[in-house]
């Protein structure tokens, strides 16, 4: 399998995100794609050479989770941007916000509060594949703490590279810009 980096240059010009910030972020994403492919090739060679039980294999295999999830989470993130930030109040997602959080505003307040927590992370709205419930999660690292059996619905990158160029340490303003650019149609289409 050879993964290809997706083109997200259509996001350039999006309000609240400079061209410089986006191009730096795309470069980082492209690195995750390239590293995922490199690691998969190394792992293939190790299998062919009978090196599955080695410490080297274990370390490359562990690193694959970081690079692969870094690639995929950035794809979710960029794909759920580029909209006008207006949620369809009659849609399935709006109804789930009401069922799971009481209303949209409660959900938004919680999601934003998680995004403002100290530390590097992703903030991800997941849908439980079994119950269908929506749950907000703080994901500290790409490859750690993803809830089993849940599907990412909305992904917000709050690692410093996502906002420092434009906002310095003012993460709250970045989060506001993120919300103004959510493509809710893409997000709703991710629902199970």
Each residue of 135-161: pLDDT tens digit? 999 999 989 999 999 999 999 999 999
Half-sphere exposure (Cβ direction) of 122: Cα atoms closer than 13 Å = 24
Q: What domains appear along the chain, each with residue ranges and CATH number?
A: 18-79 (1.10.287), 92-189 (3.55.40.20)
DSSP secondary structure code for residue 192 in this structure: -
Confidence (pLDDT) at 39: 98
Q: DSSP string of 140-176?
A: -BTTB-PPTTEEEEEEEE-SGGGTHHHHTT-HHHHHH
Beta bridge partners of 135: 126
- CA separation for the pair 160, 178 (Å, rounded): 14
Q: What is the pLDDT of residues 20-70, one digit of tens each?
A: 999 999 999 999 999 999 999 999 999 999 999 999 999 999 999 999 999
Q: Confirm whether residue 74 is marked as ligand binding.
A: yes
Q: Confirm whether residue 161 is marked as ligand binding.
A: yes
Q: DSSP string of 27-81?
A: HHHHHHHHHHHHHHHHHHHHHHTT-TTSHHHHHHHHHHHHHHHHHHHHHHHHHTB
pLDDT at 181 over 90: yes
Residues belonging to the chain? 192
Q: Measuring CA to CA, which residue among 84, 70, 42 is closest to residue 187?
A: 84
- CA separation for the pair 118, 139 (Å, rounded): 12
Half-sphere exposure (Cβ direction) of 19: Cα atoms closer than 13 Å = 1
Confidence (pLDDT) at 1: 76
Burial tier of 51 (Cβ tally within 10 Å: 0-12, 13-18, 19+): middle
Half-sphere exposure (Cβ direction) of 22: Cα atoms closer than 13 Å = 18
Mean pLDDT for all residues in the chain: 97
Q: Confirm whether residue 146 is marked as ligand binding.
A: no
């Amino acid at each position: 399998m050879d993964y290809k980096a997706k083109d997200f240059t259509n996001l350039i010009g999006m309000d609240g995100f400079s061209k410089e910030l986006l191009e730096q972020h795309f470069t980082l994403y492209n690195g995750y794609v390239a590293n995922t492919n490199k690691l998969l090739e190394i792992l293939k060679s190790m299998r062919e050479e009978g090196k599955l039980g080695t410490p080297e294999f274990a370390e490359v295999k562990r690193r694959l989770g970081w690079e692969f999830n870094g690639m995929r989470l950035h794809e979710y993130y960029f794909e759920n941007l580029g909209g006008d930030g207006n949620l369809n109040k009659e849609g399935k997602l709006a109804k789930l916000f009401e069922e799971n959080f009481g209303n949209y505003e409660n959900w938004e307040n919680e999601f934003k509060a998680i995004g403002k927590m100290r530390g590097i992370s992703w903030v991800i709205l997941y849908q439980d594949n079994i119950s269908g419930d929506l749950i907000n999660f703080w994901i500290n690292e790409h490859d750690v703490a993803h809830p089993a059996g849940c599907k990412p619905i909305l992904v917000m990158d709050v690692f410093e590279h996502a906002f420092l160029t434009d906002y310095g340490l003012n993460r709250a303003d970045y989060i506001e810009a993120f919300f103004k650019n959510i493509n809710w149609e893409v997000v709703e289409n991710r629902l199970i």
